[in-house]
Amino acid sequence: MDKRPRRLRYNPLVRELVKETVLELSDLIYPLFIIEGNHIKKEISSLKGVYHFSIDCLEEEIREIVALGIKYVILFGVPEHKDNKGSEAYNDEGIIQRAIRTIKSITQELYVITDVCMCEYTSHGHCGILDQKGYVDNEKSLYYLGQVAVSHAKAGADMIAPSDMMDGRVGYMRKELDEWGYTHVPIMSYSAKYASSFYGPFREAAGSTPAFGDRKTYQMDYANSDEALREVSLDIEEGADIVIVKPALAYLDIIRRVKDHFNIPIAAYNVSGEYAMLKLAVENNLLDEQAIMETILSIKRAGADIIITYFAKDIAKKLKGLS
Ligand code: PBG
């Protein structure tokens, strides 16, 4: 018998017929950075093609995103005022709360997700509240993070995404959201979040580099894989609706293990450093542009249902035949 795998490769139509993974725009979430001030649309130097927007400059961007067919955004805020409790994070008039209301007044077509964390809002840059010795106080942090989640929901957020990595925060936020009547707001939890050097450009963009120490006491060791399954399992028990693996590319094995072990939607965060590397390589003609599709598709092939990526606009243009 003639066993030739190539039989299914000769004709482009048959290649299409047997294609296993297809990337769709509805798989992608596009991150947006919102900054205080007026008339600001400024490229983030470490993230080519990604900008800081002040709220008054959001409209044009939002209209472009919708026109490209992108349906989901995740918001990050860069406040002017930082303090040790990160109080701008749960201020109903804070940067994110105003941005959500502005976006919702521009369009109802965009699904707005918010990142819930303290690191952009605290003067020390850690993801929670510190105790007197300078360690993150898990229980105290939960109280404040619960307030942040509710305040985002009040402003109109469609989904919240806790990225702080405190223990028990999914259950705590679920309880708070339910008590305030936001039972319909899902939680997409950063469940397996590694202490990674690939967040470098984001920390510049969000002004969230810790003033001292690092995040290794609350983010995961990149040597570990079983631990990711324990984290995911706890978050599911606490009520997470979607779990995130972050970063994506150096962690494709983790995405696949989570996919094989659990029956829950998985999002992978293709983080700032991963974007910067590839974007620079393509812009400098070291790699062909196809490398972008190939890379993002690999995340889906590994098992992610959803991909959070700064490439969303580039991919939308590609899928629409605009580039
Ligand atoms: C906030 C947060 C970070 C990222 C998303 N949410 C930074 C961090 O944990 O240090 C990183 C995203 C990226 O690098 O694109 N905690």
Question: How much of the chain, in percent, has pLDDT values that exceed 90?
Answer: 79
How many domains are contained in the chain?
1
Q: What is d(CA 162, CA 148) in angstroms, rounded to the nearest whole number?
A: 10
What average pLDDT does range 225-234 have in this prediction? 97
pLDDT at 98 > cutoff 90? yes
Asked if pLDDT for residue 210 goes beyond 80, the answer is no
Confidence of residue 1 (pLDDT cuts 50, 70, 90): confident
Cα 180 to ligand 1 centroid, rounded to whole Å: 27
Give the confidence band of 165 by pLDDT, cuts at 50, 70, 90: confident
Q: Indicate if ligand 1 lies below 6 Å from the C-beta of 251.
A: no
Domain containing 205 — which CATH number?
3.20.20.70
Count of residues making up the chain? 323
Choose among 89, 68, 80, 208: nearest CA to 151.
89
Instruction: Determine whether 156 is exposed, middle or buried from the number of CB atoms within 10 Å of its CB (0-12, 13-18, 19+).
Output: middle
Q: Is the confidence at residue 166, as pLDDT, over 90?
A: no
Provide the pLDDT for residue 284: 96
Looking at the predicted structure, is the pLDDT value of residue 209 above 80?
no
**Quick one: angle between helices 95-106 and 138-155, nearest 10?**
30
Condensed to tens digits (0 to 9), the pLDDT of residues 266-276 reads 999 999 999 99
Q: Give domain status of residue 8, yes or no.
A: no
Residue-level pLDDT at 214: 74
Q: How many whole angstroms from its chain centre is CA 12?
A: 35
Mean per-residue pLDDT, 160-182: 94
Q: Which of 234, 232, 257 is nearest to 244 (CA)?
A: 232
Going from the Cα of 101 to the center of ligand 1, the distance in angstroms, rounded, reads 23
Q: How far is CA 245 from CA 46, 72, 192, 310, in A?
A: 23, 18, 5, 16
Whole-number Å distance between alpha carbons of 53 and 253: 35
| 210 within domain boundaries | yes
In a domain, 15, yes or no: no
pLDDT band at 130 (very low <50, low <70, confident <90, very high): confident
pLDDT at 218 over 80: no
Q: Inform me whether the pLDDT recorded for 133 exceeds 90.
A: no
Spacing, Cα 202 to ligand 1 middle (Å): 6
Give the pair of three-digit tokens for residue 20: 């296993």
Q: Tell me, what's the pLDDT at 168? A: 92
Three-state secondary structure call for residue 323 = coil
Query: Predicted confidence band at 199 (pLDDT cuts at 50, 70, 90)?
Result: very high
Supply the DSSP string of 49-100, one letter for each residue.
T-EEEEGGGHHHHHHHHHHHT--EEEEEEE-S--BTT-GGGG-TTSHHHHHH
For every residue of 203-236, DSSP letters joined together read HHHHT---SSS-STTTSB-TT-SHHHHHHHHHHH
Cβ of 199 less than 6 Å from ligand 1: yes
Asked whether residue 157 is domain-assigned, the answer is: yes
Residue 234 confidence class, pLDDT cut points 50, 70, 90 = very high
- C-alpha pair distances (Å), 174 with each of 239, 266, 317: 7, 19, 37
- Residue 269: strand pairing partners: 308
Probe residue for ligand 1, chosen from 117, 164, 193, 308 as the CB with the greatest number of ligand atoms within 8 Å: 117
Reply yes or no on whether the pLDDT at 125 is more than 90. no
CA 3 to ligand 1 centroid distance, Å = 48
In this structure, the residue with its CA closest to atom 5 of ligand 1 is 163
What pLDDT sits at residue 2?
79
Rounded to an integer, the average pLDDT of 19-48 is 96
Which of ligand 1's atoms lies nearest the C-alpha of 127?
16
Rounded Cα distance between 189 and 208, Å, is 20
Q: What percent of the chain has pLDDT over 70?
A: 100
Say if 13 falls within a structural domain: no
Residue 5 placed within a domain: no
* Mean pLDDT for the chain overall: 94
Residues 6 or more apart whose CB falls under 8 angstroms from that of 310 comprise: 30, 31, 47, 49, 50, 270, 272, 275, 279
Quote the domain boundaries for residue 246.
Answer: 22-319
Reading the block at residue 103, the tokens are: 């976006």
Domain assignment present for residue 46? The answer is yes
Does the residue 75 lie in any domain?
yes
Task: Assess whether 246 carries a catalytic annotation.
Answer: yes
Query: Considering 193, 279, 300, 313, which one is annotated as catalytic?
Result: 193
